[in-house]
């Protein structure tokens, strides 16, 4: 049997046996999660039986397509994170393989992503110089912490927690991050020295002051890159438009260099093979990264689960949220030992992987291996990519991040969701990315709790036109009510969060309907009733008893009956005041009503009223006589 969970002030007053019982319960939960983790890690993957010659061929082709997509994306995402280009590739090799083998989704592909890259930069730029050895070390150590947090959440079976975070949080966060990413590339695009856009007023002032000093060559190369990427995608979605745009930018840069107009370039990529190296794990160093790492872990899981669900909806796969948590956590944890910074599922890579015909996670494995082979051949060519061209690519990526259709639909249909997205967006721009996530999640949960803390309590009455005279909202259907008995039905849970709202409704009923001294309360979702709610029910019973009435409770499950017994509600009310059936409750209540009032009543809404005295007829049945059902 469940036991009521003590509130925080009560924890200090727990006896030794009670504290030991709680410790055992937490230990059981952890052991269950670890046992599940071990089973999932050691058992054969559910997709293994699907592998055959046809799926291998389809996965190989999908992997080849995905690998070509990562070439420009890796460089762009690393630049967004404030890291050298090769780190974008590191995050798309080992983590991709680990997630494919240990995660739940068959088609989702993990690696470096725009949102996490921006969040990593936002979390670290205030403490370290972007691109410096200390910054790089912090980004890799953060991946280790992110992996630990995500695995712990998977072990504790918290995969359903993301269901309680509004999608509007991610919409606002991604829109804000996209704006910061796009504006951060204006300096490279214009060939100017500008502050970071995290300081909006200063950035706007400097941009307006120095705009006339923009380098026309850099601007021309950047705009040409943007135009090429847009046109290539418009011609065909299957074209590697980012790669084509980077190629055009490189050719333009080489042409200008040959004409004596040198451009700043990405520079030499020092190495493309991710070697094994233990990240910096000193307690003092990790302590400074904990807050940012938790935000990155949370956003990464939101991204990964959302994308995995989108892919599963298309393929018909049954997704395991806890296993996806563990797979994402393992990819970050293992990846940190191979120079990878925090990563998650990539929507673009996952969509391309699915559209290319991927059948199993082997497509992602092939993608990582093919990427490694391609990099060994073409990595030197990235040294000639103009910085202005890369800036153009990043701006296109940022523009495509914003879901304008979703934002428009949200603004037209939901004020609360628009508020959540707006607060998250403004926090991203005005404060920082890390705080924006916490602000959006806090507001999302607050609005959710406010909605469920205001339950709807309707007054019901039998509908003579409905089959079996079903109970329906009296005011909505224009039904008559019993002058002595009020039947109130509650939609939603009856727990500490809804107690005050329910108590106010009960008080209003007593003030507005003083003649209805008897109450039958139907709580349709009350299986989770807690101690404060039980005390409120007993309070209402005492008040109605004092007024010469009674309080009856209709419950819907034996589980609730067990809880009410533990909270001593059954003993205090009496078994004759707690009912399993509405019909049985009404049949027991009506004979207890004041017969003098019943005699002059014209409403007579219940079948059982035929048994009550009626001054309009002489053949009033004696109490206890059989009732003829209409």
Which ranges constitute the DSSP H helices of 517-593?
A: 531-546, 558-566, 569-573, 582-589
Q: Is the pLDDT of residue 300 over 80?
A: yes
pTM value surpassing 0.85: no
| Cβ neighbours of 52 (radius 10 Å) | 10
The neighbouring-strand residues paired with 111 are: 344
**Dist CA 119 CA 177 (whole Å):** 8
Place 139 in a pLDDT band, splitting at 50, 70 and 90: very high
Is the CB of residue 91 less than 8 Å from the CB of residue 352?
no
Q: Is the pLDDT of residue 333 over 90?
A: yes
Is the CB of residue 326 less than 8 Å from the CB of residue 40?
yes
Picking from 111, 96, 107, the residue whose alpha carbon sits closest to that of residue 47 is 107
Residue 105: predicted pLDDT: 86
Picking from 91, 77, 125, 103, the residue whose alpha carbon sits closest to that of residue 343 is 91
Is the CB of residue 75 less than 8 Å from the CB of residue 88?
yes
Using the structure block, give the residue that is written with the tokens 């599922």: 345
| Cβ neighbours of 343 (radius 10 Å) | 34
**Dist CA 462 CA 587 (whole Å):** 13
Place 115 in a pLDDT band, splitting at 50, 70 and 90: confident
Picking from 153, 154, 162, 156, the residue whose alpha carbon sits closest to that of residue 25 is 156
Residue 247: predicted pLDDT: 85
Place 339 in a pLDDT band, splitting at 50, 70 and 90: very high
Residue 390: predicted pLDDT: 79
Residue 134: predicted pLDDT: 92
Record the tokens describing residue 294, joined without a space: 């938790």
- In this prediction, residues 18-23 reach a mean pLDDT of 53
Which ranges constitute the DSSP H helices of 431-518?
A: 433-452, 474-477, 499-512
Residue 465: predicted pLDDT: 82
Residue 627: predicted pLDDT: 46
Better-scored residue on pLDDT, 625 or 489: 489
Residues 6+ positions from 515 with CB-CB distance below 8 Å: 483, 484
- In this prediction, residues 180-201 reach a mean pLDDT of 79
Place 342 in a pLDDT band, splitting at 50, 70 and 90: very high
Q: Is the pLDDT of residue 11 over 50?
A: no
| Cβ neighbours of 68 (radius 10 Å) | 17
Residue 24: predicted pLDDT: 58
Q: What percent of the chain has pLDDT over 90?
A: 12
- Coil, helix or strand for 457? strand
CATH, domain range 456-611 = 3.30.750.24
| Neighbour-count burial for 543-579, b at 16+ CB within 10 Å, e otherwise | ebeeeebbbbbbbeeeebbebbeebebbeebeeebbb
Using the structure block, give the residue that is written with the tokens 């307006």: 208
Furthest-apart CA pair in the chain: how many Å?
A: 116
pLDDT in tens, 413-439: 888 888 888 888 888 887 766 677 778
Q: Which sequence spans correspond to the domains of the chain?
A: 32-449, 456-611
Residue 408: predicted pLDDT: 86
Is the CB of residue 110 less than 8 Å from the CB of residue 97?
no
Record the tokens describing residue 179, joined without a space: 């704006």
């Amino acid at each position: 049997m469940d036991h009521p969970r003590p509130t925080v002030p009560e924890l200090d007053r727990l006896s030794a046996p009670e504290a030991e019982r709680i410790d055992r319960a937490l230990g059981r939960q952890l052991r269950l999660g670890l046992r599940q983790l071990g089973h999932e890690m050691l058992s054969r993957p559910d997709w293994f039986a699907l592998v055959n010659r046809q799926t291998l061929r389809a996965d190989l082709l999908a992997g080849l397509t995905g690998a070509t997509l990562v070439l420009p994306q890796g460089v762009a995402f690393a630049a967004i994170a404030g890291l050298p280009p090769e780190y974008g590739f590191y995050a798309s090799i080992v983590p991709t393989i680990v997630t494919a083998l240990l995660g739940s989704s068959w088609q989702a592909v993990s690696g470096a992503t725009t949102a996490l890259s921006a969040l990593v930069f936002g979390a670290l730029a205030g403490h370290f110089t972007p691109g410096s050895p200390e910054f790089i070390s912090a980004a890799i150590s953060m991946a280790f912490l992110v992996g630990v947090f995500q695995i712990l959440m998977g072990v504790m079976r918290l995969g359903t927690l993301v269901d309680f975070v509004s999608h509007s949080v991610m919409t606002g966060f991604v829109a804000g991050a996209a704006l910061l990413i796009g504006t951060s590339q204006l300096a490279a695009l214009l060939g100017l020295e500008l502050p970071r856009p995290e300081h909006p007023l200063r950035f706007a002032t400097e941009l307006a002051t120095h705009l006339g000093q923009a380098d026309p060559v850099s601007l021309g190369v950047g705009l040409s890159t943007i135009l090429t990427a847009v046109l290539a995608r418009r011609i065909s979605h299957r074209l590697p438009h980012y790669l084509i745009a980077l190629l055009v930018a490189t050719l333009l840069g080489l042409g200008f260099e040959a004409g004596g107009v040198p451009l700043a370039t990405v520079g030499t990529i020092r190495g493309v093979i991710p070697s094994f190296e233990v990240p910096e794990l000193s307690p003092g160093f990790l302590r400074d990264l904990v807050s940012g790492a938790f935000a990155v872990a949370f956003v990464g899981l939101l991204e990964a689960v959302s994308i995995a669900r989108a892919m599963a909806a298309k393929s018909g796969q049954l997704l395991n949220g806890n296993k996806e948590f563990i797979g994402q956590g393992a990819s970050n944890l293992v990846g940190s030992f191979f120079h990878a910074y925090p990563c998650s599922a990539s929507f673009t890579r996952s969509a391309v992987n699915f559209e290319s015909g991927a059948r199993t996670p082997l497509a992602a494995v092939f993608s990582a291996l093919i990427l490694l082979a391609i990099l060994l051949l073409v990595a030197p060519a990235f040294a000639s990519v103009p910085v202005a061209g890369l800036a153009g690519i990043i701006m296109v990526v940022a523009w495509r991040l914003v879901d304008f259709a979703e934002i428009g639909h949200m603004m037209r249909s939901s004020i609360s969701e628009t508020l959540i997205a707006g607060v998250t967006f403004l926090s991203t721009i005005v404060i920082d990315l890390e705080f924006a996530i916490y602000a959006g999640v806090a507001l999302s949960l607050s609005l959710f709790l406010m909605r469920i803390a205001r339950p709807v309590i309707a007054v019901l009455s039998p509908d003579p036109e409905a089959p079996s005279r079903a109970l329906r909202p009296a005011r909505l259907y224009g039904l008559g009510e019993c002058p002595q008995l009020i039947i109130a039905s509650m939609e939603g849970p009856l727990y500490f969060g809804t107690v005050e709202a329910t108590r106010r409704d009960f008080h209003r009923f007593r003030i507005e309907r003083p003649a209805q001294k008897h109450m039958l309360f139907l709580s349709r979702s009350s299986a989770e009733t807690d101690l404060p709610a039980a005390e409120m029910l007993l309070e209402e019973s005492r008040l109605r008893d004092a007024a010469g009435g009674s309080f009856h409770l209709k419950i819907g499950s034996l589980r609730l009956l067990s809880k009410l017994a533990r909270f001593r509600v059954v003993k205090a009310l009496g078994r004759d005041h707690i009912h399993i059936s509405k019909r049985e409750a009404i049949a027991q209540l009506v004979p207890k009503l004041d017969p003098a009032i019943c005699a002059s009543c014209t409403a007579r809404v219940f079948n059982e009223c035929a048994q009550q005295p009626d001054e309009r007829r002489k053949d009033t049945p004696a109490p206890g006589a059989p009732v003829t059902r209409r």
